[in-house]
Structure 1
C-alpha cells in the first residue's frame, strides 16, 4: 500500500517536534487540524472522496489562502506577518503534488476538448469539470480557467 499524504504529515510533525522546530510544528498542526475539520464535514455530507484527494483539496485551499494573505500583508506593509504566511506556505507546499506547468496544462486542455468535442465558450463548464476530475490535484484551476477560455474562444 502506498503511503498517504496524511501519514507523511504525521511523520513530519513528529520529526519537527523532536527537532524543536516550533514554527514548522505549528504549521503542521494547523494542517492536521484543517484536515480533521474536513473529515468531520465529509462524514456529514455523505460523499465519498479518496483520502489523498481530500487532503490535497485541503492543502490547495490553505495554500491559496496563504498566497492571498501574503499579498494583503505586503500591500499593508506588514512584512513580519507576510513572512509568517510565507513560512506556512512552504510547509503546505511540501505535501502538495507538483503542479502541471503551462505546456502540460495546455496538453490536458486539448485532450479534454477533443474527448468532449468541445468547440465553443459554451462548453467551458464541461471542459473545466472534466479537467478538475482528471487533473484536479495537479492543476492550478485559476490559471487553467483562463487557458480554457482562450482555447475555446
Structure 2
C-alpha cells in the first residue's frame, strides 16, 4: 500500500538524517492523515493517496508562483523544495505523444461526428478516468481544448 511505502520512506529518511526529505514526507503524511480524519472514511485507498499527493504538489506550485510574482524568489524556492519528494510517489507522467494518443482514443469513443467544444465535459471526464493520475489536470484541460478547437 502506498501509505505504508511513504511511512517506510520517512523512517529511512530519518535514519539517514536527511532533513529536507524528512520534512517533506512528514508534511505529506500530515495531509494524508488530515484527509482520512476529515470525512466519514477511515483508511484511504492508493488512488485517494495519489490524489492527496497531486493536490499537495499543486498547492506548492501555486504558492511558489504567487511568491515569484510578488518578488519573493527565496520563498518560492522554499515552496518548491518538497515537490521532487512528492513526485516520487506519483505514477510516470504521460509524454505529449502519449497524451495525444489517449485523447484521440477518448474522442473516438465519446464523440459522435465532428468534435466541438460542447463535447469538452464528456471528453475531460473520460480522459481523466483513463489517465488515472498520470497527467496534471491543467495540462489535460489545455490538451483537450487544443484537440477540440
TM-score norm. by structure 1 comes to 0.86
Structure 2, gaps ≥5 residues long:
none
Contact 1:16 1:22 in 2 (8 A): yes
CA deviation string 1:38-89 (max 9, x = no partner): 1223535x9xx97111011011111111111112222233233222212111
Q: Which residue of 1 aligns with 2:48?
A: 54
Is residue 2:137 matched to residue 1:133?
Answer: no
Runs of 4+ in 1 over 3 A off after TM superposition: none
- RMSD value, Cα: 2.0
Greater helix share, structure number: 1
Match of 1:26 among 16, 23, 26: 23
Secondary structure of 1:14's counterpart equals helix
CA spacing shift, 1:62–1:14, aligned 2, 3 Å: same
Q: Write the mapping of 1:72-83 to structure 2, written as runs, cut at 5 A.
A: 72-83=66-77
Q: Which residue of 2 aligns with 1:70?
A: 64
Structure 1, gaps ≥5 residues long:
none
More deviation in 75-84 or 106-115?
Answer: 75-84
Is residue 2:140 matched to residue 1:144?
Answer: yes
